[in-house]
Structures are given as structure tokens and as C-alpha cells.
């Protein structure tokens, strides 16, 4: 876990150092104008601005993701209400979802590999890995049942 955290911090540091200073004036980095290597593929796939479809409490939302902020942050910025979350670090598991289309990366998530392979993700650390990402929010109980039985 410590190695994954160090790798994630190194990726963030590289991204911040590569951004022009004018783009670092607020919490959110300005929309990217160039593609960066995906953290999951280490250079094969490209992270770009993309739209993620989120099904939450019977409604479907289209959320614009900039490739830097988590899907949770993008959803909150878009005004989706009643999303469950707490730590925003991938540890507490209160922001569970199921990826029903496309792929996400979620470095730092405290999910077992087999649970992630079943399509579960933590929105607070999930980033879209390409286009056509579809997410369905699920209950914390559902995720914990799967995590404990996997």
C-alpha cells in the first residue's frame, strides 16, 4: 500500500510540475490541452477530457471529467446530490460504485483485485480511462458483502 501511495504521489507531482504556473491558481487544474499517460497503463493509454455517465438514485447524469480530478469530485462539481463519501482517499469505502461500461483507474483504492475485477470502484479515487465510462452507484453494504466474500 505504501508503494502504491508513493507511486500516486509521484504521478501527481509530475503532473503539477508539468503544468504551466498560470494553470495552478485554484484547487482544480485548468482543462488539459495535451494528453498525459494513464497511470494504469504507464504510457499506452491517454488520459483526456471525457464524459462519464453516472446512474444515481434512478437518475442518469452526464459528468465532464478533466483527467485530473476524481469522478466523485467531478460529480460533486456538477451538482449531483446525496452522493455518499467521507475520506476521499479510497480507504473508508463509503463512495462505492459499479463500472458498467468502459474502464477506470483507481490507484490507492482499498479494494481487493478480484473485487475491482468484478467492476467495483471507489468514486473518490476513480479516474476514467478513456471514453464511454458508465458508473452505477451502489450501497456500501453491497460493496462490503462482495469485499468480505471475495
pLDDT value, residue 2: 64
pLDDT value, residue 150: 67
Whole-prediction pTM:
0.68
DSSP letter at 31?
Answer: P
pLDDT value, residue 121: 97
Give dist(CA 39, CA 46) in Å, integer: 9
Asked if residue 84 lies in contact with residue 65, where contact means CB atoms within 8 angstroms, the answer is no
Asked if residue 64 lies in contact with residue 144, where contact means CB atoms within 8 angstroms, the answer is no
Give dist(CA 11, CA 133) in Å, integer: 22
Radius of gyration of the chain (CA): 15
Give dist(CA 106, CA 99) in Å, integer: 12
Predicted confidence (pLDDT) per residue in 60-108, tens digit: 999 999 989 999 999 999 999 999 999 999 999 999 999 999 999 998 8
Predicted confidence (pLDDT) per residue in 6-52, tens digit: 776 676 666 656 655 434 333 343 343 334 444 444 444 455 789 99
Q: Does 12 or 56 have the greater pLDDT score?
A: 56
For the segment 122-131, the average pLDDT, to the nearest whole number, is: 95
Amino acid at each position: 500500500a505504501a508503494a502504491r501511495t508513493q507511486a500516486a504521489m509521484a504521478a501527481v507531482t509530475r503532473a503539477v510540475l508539468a503544468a504551466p504556473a498560470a494553470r495552478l491558481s485554484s484547487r482544480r487544474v485548468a482543462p488539459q490541452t495535451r494528453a498525459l499517460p494513464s497511470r494504469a497503463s504507464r504510457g499506452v493509454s491517454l488520459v483526456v477530457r471525457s464524459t462519464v455517465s453516472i446512474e444515481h438514485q434512478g437518475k442518469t447524469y452526464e459528468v465532464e471529467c478533466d483527467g485530473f480530478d476524481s469522478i466523485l469530485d467531478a460529480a460533486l462539481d456538477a451538482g449531483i446530490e446525496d452522493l455518499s463519501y467521507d475520506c476521499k482517499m479510497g480507504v473508508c469505502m463509503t463512495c462505492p460504485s459499479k463500472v458498467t461500461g468502459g474502464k477506470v483507474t483507481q490507484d490507492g483504492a482499498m479494494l481487493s483485485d478480484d473485487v475491482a475485477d468484478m467492476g467495483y470502484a471507489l468514486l473518490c479515487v476513480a479516474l476514467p480511462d478513456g471514453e464511454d465510462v458508465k458508473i452505477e452507484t451502489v450501497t456500501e453494504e453491497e460493496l462490503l458483502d462482495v469485499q468480505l466474500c471475495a
